[in-house]
Structure 1
Amino acid sequence: MIYPNNFEVKIGFNKIRQLLSAKCLSPLGEEKVSNLAFSSDFSFIQSELSQTEEFIRIIQEEDNFPTNYFIDVRHSLKSIRIEGTWIDESALFDLRRSLQTIRDIVSFLKKEEEENTPYPHLYALAGEIAVFPQLLSQIDHILDKFGKIKDNASPELSRIRREITHVSSGISKSLNSILRSAQSEGLVEKDVTPTMRDGRLVIPVAPAFKRRIKGIVHDESASGKTVFIEPAEVVEANNRIRELESEERREIIKILISFTDTLRPLVPDILQSYEFLATIDFIRAKASLSIDLGAIRPIIEDKQIIRWYRAKHPLLFISHRKQNKEIVPLDIELEGENRLLIISGPNAGGKSVCLKTVGLLQYMVQCGIPIPIDERSVVGIFDNIFIDIGDEQSIENDLSTYSSHLTNMKFFVRNCDKKTILLIDEFGGGTEPQIGGAIAESLLKRFNEKEAFGVITTHYQNLKHFANENKGVINGAMLYDRHLMQPLFTLSIGNPGSSFAIEIARKIGLPEDVIADASDIVGSDYINMDKYLQDIVRDKRYWETKRQNIRQKEKRLEEITENYETDLISIEKQRKEILRQAKSEAERILSEANAKIENTIRTIREAQAEKEKTKLARQNLSEFKEGLNTETEIDDKIARKIQKLKDKEKNKKQKNKATEKRQEVKITIGDNVRMKGQNSIGEVLDIQKGNAIVAFGMIKSTVKLESLEYVSRNQVKKETKVTTVNAISSDNIRDKKLNFKQDIDVRGMRGDEALQAVMYFIDDAILVGMSRVRILHGTGTGALRQIIRDYLRTVPGVSNYQDEHVQFGGAGITVIDLE
């Protein structure tokens, strides 16, 4: 149910209709737009949105979807239902072109098999739509490509048109002969040609010579300077042409009547096909408008919920875009115990825009239209939307603005329920503040008791207090920059807002004594309360900005770290390549040296104690050695580096063997141990059923034996310095344990932000010895839940994770058991 009757005007939906109609290709689609209606049928809404979503993809990805000839011929089809009537030539041409469009659309949507189609919802819409190929063939036999009746549409028509051509040719010859003769006698100008008057060929002649040419005068020009004469020689031929033309018209009507008799029984099925064409035009218009607005098919749940991120008012978005201005998007959540949102804040701060945004987008989506909203958002379904906004003063009904508001409130109280969303602007306004505020609070109490949802704007302090003290109702504020004295148009949920009345009055130059008197009148409690609200808003903005800056710096740090890791990998590759080249060069030098020595030995043997040759061979070998020493000086450093690498690898192997040996040692009470992969050394206090109670400094933890490794006393001495550092930080750990919260909420974060927060949270939980923690990530598309669980699967300290019990959040919360 929608209330009141002018609901669409109040939220601006009538303008959305106009935008949709402008996108339609024909009256067929425009008629669908005019019949567009609000629905609370979940399946219907899902289907409408799915069809539009698929058409958005068609517009963005396909080039050959048929968009020509969306022509409405339903009136012509309905007019031939009576026997003896016929469809005229132009309507028949429109029928042919539009039926071809329907055929092309169905062919496009069914070009793939049903199980492979990329557009399943549009495929289903095409269903069993008839495309009438035989009817199209019959029309093609009658009409040419320009929509005119073909000569061969019937044998008789062919004969008539041949005779018309023959007679017309004879008339032309006769006229040209008469015209040449008249021109030679000077009766007619040289550049004159035969023309047509009343369907008869005539010759233009000056009035002075009209009696010189025998024939019938049919007409004269407006100036009277020309008369049009039909020569007597062609009168009979022209009469014959007129007769033949009458015969032609009768034959064409006969052809059309015959075709219409074939067409008439098919009219109901053809009208059904035109209903399909209208629907396609309508869906296409919705898709085109959605692209203009940046709208999407949101996640829809068949329950009452509003969890919107970066929602935009469509009309405001279009208006701002024309002015090259940015719109401030809306983040809003209404669900669970926060159903009724009371928005306060300064005038012209965006309260009414926020309310209208909620009303318009909720109405649009329940009409099957995509909305401009972030893809993480979740949209619910409401049976009723009630709105009370603007000046409803009525002279005819003798109602004041306040009386009109109360009339609406009476309807709201009687008809609202937990499937209703209320949109009330300036709740309680229009009358004396004290009684107006009291009545508004009483109404709000009943709305809350009926578990209705709503967005309500107000300036009344008592409503802010009510929201703060009652479950189901929550405060919200439109933020305001108190330094620049201008609205930020941003909704902040959780705290009430200040009206900034004193500050605004001071800004516009109201005398200070007036402001001081006003402050005295309302009292210090009110002034202090208003300042308190301003301080809350200021502090929240400050910490939100700090949080954003920290996120940006963390992201930058991650990028720098990634770059360093990439550089290290590159350096490692270069190092390996240098070592490979050095090794290759060393092998070459060694091979050359061996060859030289062997050659020297062979020379000495062959010399057989010839002193001169032996001495020469030894001298050559000595020179080679000196050269070899000179060459290898540069490679000494490389050789030393290679040796260091070998020593390092050797030490690493020895360390691994020592570790394996320690792991083989059976751990007993009093032993020094540490968790595998960790540095902190603790002492085993007790062992029970495969678990050990280990004291790490001041913290005791229960750890599985298989995750511990033995540490010798010598090793403990070596790591005394590390132990000292750990002891120093134990106070910090104790403080962290006292302040540690076992739940973390990452809803609304991007994937990388949520993962970073979860990593810190799990590390802290393991550090302080928590046995169980919870992560609130929401349901949504499930992407955030999957990212978090993929990470948990890699953490050694996580023994188990699962969905929370359905009564406490179900799949929207992951419960983690830690070792």
Structure 2
Amino acid sequence: MIFPKNAIDKLGFLEIKSLIQEKCLSEPGREMVEKIQPQQKLEQIDRFLRQTQEFRDLLLHDAPLPVDHLYPIKPLAEKARIVGSFLAEDEFYRVLLSLRTVYAVIRYFNEREGQYSNLTLLFEHLPIETKIVRQIEAVIDDRGRMKDNASRLLLDITQQILKSEQEARKRIDQVFKQAQHNGWTADGNLTVRDGRLCIPILAENKRKLKGLIHDESATGQTAYIEPEEVFHLNNKVRDLEFERRREVVRILMELTAELRPHVPLLLSYHGLLSKLDFVRAKALFAIDIEADMPQLSKDAEINLVNARHPLLLINAKRDQQTVVPLHIKIDQHDRVILVSGPNAGGKSVCMKTVGLLQLMVQSGLLIPADDTSKLGIFKQIFADIGDDQSIESDLSTYSAHLSKMKHFTEFANARTLVLIDEFGTGTDPLFGGPIAEAVLESLNKKDIRGVITTHYSNLKVFASNTAGLENASMLFDNVAMRPLYILQVGKPGSSYAFEIAQKIGLRADILESAKQKIGTQQKKVDTLLVDLERDKKLVHDTKIAIGKRERELETIQAEYEQLQSHLEENKRQLIRDAKEEARQILKDANKLIENTISEIKSAQADKERTRELRRELHAAVDKNTEKKPSAKPSAAPSSAIAGDEVIEVGDWVKIVDADTEAQVIEVSKGSNLILALGDIRTVVKKNKVVKLRGKEKAKVVKRHRSLSTSSVADFQPEVDVRGMRTEDALRQLETVLDRAVMIGYPTLKILHGKGDGILRKFVRDYLRKYNHVSHFEDEHADRGGDGITYAYIS
């Protein structure tokens, strides 16, 4: 599919694979990355891409996948398959950790059924065989050592060894003290020689103590002796250790025999872990290069939107720079894009970006381009990049180019992507140009797709007059004399040879002589191309400015529409309020009139009483028709007015209804205050509080400070939830966390134990959702490791 084979390396695909391998956690995962090759089946490519995309989304937006232990269990399973062999304790421990990881992963996806449909295909129909785990856990402890109670005999032997060792130690301590008392010992304490505990005895006294001499000092003045009675006890311990080892081997052989029927399942688990590591590495790399999944097409086409070269992007991010995105479209109408322009203007990067991204997609890798990009599937990718001269094959640079062109013209078809850099170079331009044009004509007749870079004018003219070929150029700022790295399709570009030479500082007389030596027609063509470049640059800049102005106008229009909607709503609300107020006034007026009439009747038309009632009626009318003063601007959110006093954040107030003091921690825009009563927060209307001043305020502050100090002194920044049910554990954790936040404690130690890691998972999921927890981490491995979590409170 790829010709020549080194084209993959020249396009940078091997470097991409190397970067993905660095993300792998296991050797089997790295081996799978090494085997990545472009595929041709659309369904298979689509599945690979979707699996990578789902894993990327999982890493970015979901709880971490429990892949702590990815040991290669295939060699262990193969070893267990052999009758008569057995796995060692550490090997069983690796199998146990891997099985726990497998079951945790299966449970993880079972809990998210339907959410990651393509990833679920990796372990479809794989059962959870917990019997294997229980059998290993009955024998192997959490340190990877055999349990003392793995069998009754092993427990008896272990207890005998312990008892004999204690007896031997007790006896040697007695002999050592006696030897010290007699003055036989050298300076120093008991020491180990040849694995046996010995007493340092002065050389002149070594015959006075019966025992076995294991060693002597470099000077010969000290002998290290194991006392005779201790020697027999130590030999007994050694015999018991041999007996224990035989029992351990018997248990391991028995456990291996129980594991042997499950070897095919273990191999399936190995495949799952390897694939998970493989897809995880691809997803992590996709995050690094800000990659997305493009649309796939059955046709041989390419439409890249905002595409960037992944290796260039990684280097730019490291140097805190940006990469100019590439927009390029290759379809049935414009099958071959002929890119021209100045040297170091980005022509080769453009071509390599197209080739590399096509290879990545067909290999199941996400690419750094918009998800609106669309790529087809090519059966062949032919590339001619760089110098392939060979002394051994007697090939010059141009001969190597021609040999590739021969292969291209013979085997290319409509499903072939052709990439050629600096087409036609390597020989006399007078002959190289026509040969390149003839080759391009032959390839075009085969309906190939491709990107070709060149400086040859005859190729630019040929492309402009031939269907299926399209000129394109890399924009160049001929004022600042610098490349813009922007691909512009539709017109060829100038090489800017004279302009670049002038900027570099080549003498004017040399440049003038060179201009006289080129043909008049060629000079006109190059001048025309430079003018076209200048016009294209002006059009491009104008287009950008217009686009910016349009976006500004759209923003202003949206703000205007939002303001108009707000004003309309306010208007409707004011009308509703006015109608309600008028209705209430009418209601009150009718009631007042009826009461007045009733009073007049009851007063039996008494003139004084009637005048009085009329005055009251007129006063009520004046009250309702009086012009209301305009509303004053609302106070800033940081203060409020209660009575005649301004209340601000930090003030102490007294709640009138509750006769309780509290401190203001926030003043809302409405008529509410948010108060702190110790560890409790409450909302109170502004007119329901009285601001405290002077001695009364000082007394309250002093009392609350003493209570707060006492609260901090009594607080224990540690919570033990081991053995609790999940709901009880989270409830207790919430209580302690809330109190730590209230008193401003920086850290909290949470003891949840290891076990199957379920409680740890729920605790850490809760910590992720708790706003005041900035981050958390495991305790040091020597002090509990992942059985303890430290939460840091911001």
When the two structures are superposed, what TM-score results if normalisation uses the length of structure 1?
Answer: 0.72
Q: Which residue of 2 aligns with 1:34?
A: 34
1:580-659 mapped onto 2 (5 Å cutoff): 614=607, 617=610, 621=614, 632=625
Task: Give 1:615 shift.
Answer: 8.5
- Which position in structure 2 is the counterpart of 1:159? 156
SS of equivalent residue, structure 1 residue 564:
helix
Matches of 1:518 and 1:87, distance apart in 2: 80
Which residue pairs with 2:309 in the alignment? 313
1:720 is matched with which residue? none
Q: Which residue of 2 aligns with 1:247?
A: 243
Letter matched to residue 95 of structure 2:
L
Other-structure match for 1:20: 20
Instruction: Tell me by how many angstroms 1:31 deviates.
Output: 0.9
Distance in 2 (CA, whole Å) between partners of 1:270 and 1:600 is 99
Range that drifts further, 580-589 or 395-404? 580-589
Which residue in 2 is equivalent to 1:491? 487
C-alpha deviation, 1:345, in angstroms: 0.4
Match of 2:169 in 1: 172
Counterpart CA distance in 1 for 2:475 and 2:126 is 54
Measured in 1, the distance between the counterparts of 2:316 and 2:116 equals 34
Alignment of 1:438-477 (within 5 A): 438-477=434-473
Q: Residue 434 in 1 paired to residue 424 in 2?
A: no
The verdict on how the C-alpha distance between 1:192 and 1:561 changes in structure 2, with shifts beyond 3 A counting, is same
Question: Which amino acid is the alignment partner of residue 351 of structure 2?
Answer: L
Task: Please state if 1:144 is matched with 2:150.
Answer: no
- Counterpart Cα distance in 1 of 2:29 and 2:130: 24
Structure 2 letter corresponding to 1:552: K
Q: Which amino acid aligns with 2:463?
A: A
Distance 1:127 1:533, change over 3 A: same
Give runs of aligned pairs for residues 259-270 of structure 1, distance below 5 A: 259-270=255-266
Q: Which structure 2 residues correspond to residues 346-365 of structure 1 after superposition, within 5 A?
A: 346-365=342-361
> CA-to-partner distance for each residue in 1:291-312, whole Å, 9 max, x for gaps?
1111112111122110001111
* Equivalent residue runs for 1:330-349 within 5 Å: 330-349=326-345
Alpha-carbon distance in 1 for matches of 2:257, 2:604: 128
How far residue 430 of structure 1 moved from its aligned partner, in angstroms, is: 0.3
Structure 1 position 573, deviation (Å):
4.2
Tell me how far apart the structure 2 counterparts of residues 215 and 88 of structure 1 sit (CA, whole Å). Answer: 37
Decide which moves more: 10-19 or 399-408. Answer: 10-19
Distance in 2 (CA, whole Å) between partners of 1:592 and 1:78 is 96
Q: Distance in 1 between matches of 2:413 and 2:576?
A: 79
Q: Matched residues in 1 for 2:73 and 2:583: separation?
A: 91
- The answer to whether the 8 A contact 1:604-1:614 is kept is no
1:284 aligns to what SS in structure 2? Answer: helix
In the TM superposition, residue 146 of structure 1 has moved relative to its aligned partner by 1.0
1:125: which partner in 2?
A: 122
User: Which residue, 390, 393, 396 being the options, matches 1:397?
Assistant: 393
Deviations 1:641-661 (A, max 9, x none): xxxxxxxxxxxxxxxxxxxxx
1:176-195 equivalence runs, <5 A:
176-188=173-185, 192-193=189-190, 195=191
Structure 2 counterpart of 1:56:
56
Distance 2:594 2:77 in 1: 110
- Structure 2 contact 186–200 (Cα < 8 Å) conserved: no
Deviation at 1:486, TM superposition (A): 0.6
CA distance in 2, matches of 1:17, 1:593: 87
CA distance in 1, matches of 2:221, 2:76: 46
1:505 maps to 2:478: no
In the alignment, residue 530 of structure 1 is paired with which amino acid?
D
**Equivalent residue for 2:215, pick from 211, 215, 219:** 219
The structure with the larger Rg is: 1
- Match status 1:47 vs 2:47: yes
Q: 1: distance between equivalents of 2:26 and 2:155?
A: 37
Which whole-Å deviations, capped at 9, do the CAs of 1:217-251 have from their partners, x for residues lacking one? 11234565543211011222222222222222222
Distance 1:590 1:111, change over 3 A: closer
1:598, 1:261 → 2: CA distance? 105
State the Cα deviation string for residues 778-799 of structure 1 (Å, max 9, x = none): xxxxxxxxxxxxxxxxxxxxxx
The question of whether the paired residues in 1 share the 8 Å contact of 2:477 and 2:537 is answered with no
Partner deviation per Cα, 1:756-792 (whole Å, 9 max, x = no partner): xxxxxxxxxxxxxxxxxxxxxxxxxxxxxxxxxxxxx
CA offsets per residue over residues 129-181 of structure 1, 9 Å max, x none? 35442222221122111111222223332232222222222211211110111
Letter in 1 for 2:53: E
Aligned length: 628
Instruction: Name the CA shift for 1:17/1:624 in 2 (closer, same or farther; >3 Å).
Output: closer
Q: Which amino acid aligns with 1:551?
A: G
1:589 Cα offset (Å) = 6.4
| Distance in 1 (alpha carbons) for counterparts of 2:445 and 2:546 | 42
Deviations 1:9-57 (A, max 9, x none): 1011111111111100010101111111121111111111111111112
What SS is found at the alignment partner of 1:86?
A: coil
Residue of structure 1 in register with 2:725 after alignment:
none
CA separation of 1:281 and 1:222: change in aligned 2, threshold 3 A: farther
Given that 1:130 and 1:270 are in contact with CA atoms closer than 8 Å, whether structure 2 keeps it comes out as no
How far the C-alpha of 1:363 sits from its partner, in A, is 0.7
How far is 1:633 from its partner? Answer: 7.9
Between stretches 381-390 and 550-559, larger displacement belongs to: 550-559
Distance 1:583 1:290, change over 3 A: closer
Q: How many Å separate the matches in 2 of 1:58 and 1:595?
A: 69
Distance 2:68 2:531 in 1: 61
User: Which SS does the other structure have where 2:106 is aligned?
Assistant: helix
> Relative to structure 1, is the Cα distance of residues 222 and 140 closer, same or farther in structure 2, using a 3 angstrom cutoff?
farther
Q: Report the Cα offset of residue 334 of structure 1.
A: 0.3
CA distance in 2, matches of 1:255, 1:183: 45
Residue 750 of structure 2 is matched in structure 1 by: none
Using the alignment, how far apart are the partners of 2:571 and 2:399 within structure 1?
A: 86
Please state whether the residue corresponding to 2:356 is helix, strand or coil: helix
1:68 counterpart SS class: coil
Q: What percentage of residue pairs aligned between the two structures are identical?
A: 41
Q: Is contact 2:381–2:417 with CA below 8 Å preserved after alignment?
A: yes
Q: Tell me what 1:732 maps to.
A: none
State whether residues 201 and 238 of structure 1, in contact with CA within 8 Å, keep that contact through their aligned partners in structure 2.
Answer: no
Q: Unaligned stretches of 5+ in structure 1?
A: 636-819
Which amino acid in 2 is paired with 1:126? F
Match of 1:287 in 2: 283
Where does residue 412 of structure 2 map in the other structure? 416
Does the aligned pair in 1 maintain the 2:73–2:267 contact within 8 Å?
no
Instruction: Write out per-residue CA displacement over residues 421-457 of structure 1, whole angstroms, 9 at most, x where no aligned residue.
Output: 0110000100000210111001101111101111100
Structure 2: unaligned runs, 5 residues or longer = 629-794
- Output one character per residue of 1:185-231: Cα deviation in whole Å (capped at 9) or x when no partner: 233368623x4333333223333432332211112345655432110
Q: Which amino acid aligns with 1:192?
A: N
CA–CA distance in structure 1, aligned partners of residues 572 and 437 of structure 2 = 78
Task: State the partner residue of 2:270.
Answer: 274
CA deviation map 1:320-340 (0-9, x unaligned): 111111011111100011011
Matched residue, 2:78? 78
Q: Is the 8 A contact 1:130 1:273 kept in 2?
A: no
Give the aligned partner of residue 525 of structure 2: 529
Measured after TM superposition, the shift of residue 501 of structure 1 is 0.7
Q: Is the alpha carbon distance of 1:595 and 1:487 closer, same or farther for their aligned partners in structure 2, counting shifts above 3 Å? A: closer
Distance 2:388 2:224 in 1: 72
**Residue correspondence of structure 1 range 759-778 to structure 2 within 5 A:** none
The answer (yes or no) to whether the contact 1:131–1:273 under 8 Å persists in 2 is no
Which of 538, 541, 564 aligns to 2:537? It is 541
Contact in 1 for aligned 2:186/2:222 (Cα 8 Å): no
The 1:558–1:14 alpha-carbon spacing in structure 2 relative to 1, beyond 3 Å, is closer
Q: How many Å apart are 1:604 and its aligned residue?
A: 7.8
1:74 corresponds to which letter in structure 2? Answer: K
Equivalent position of 1:105 in the other structure: 105
Does the Cα contact within 8 Å between 1:437 and 1:460 map onto a contact in 2? Answer: yes
1:407 corresponds to which of 403, 408, 428: 403
Q: Which residue of 2 aligns with 1:236?
A: 232
SS in 2 for 1:368: coil
- Aligned-pair distance for 1:533? 1.9
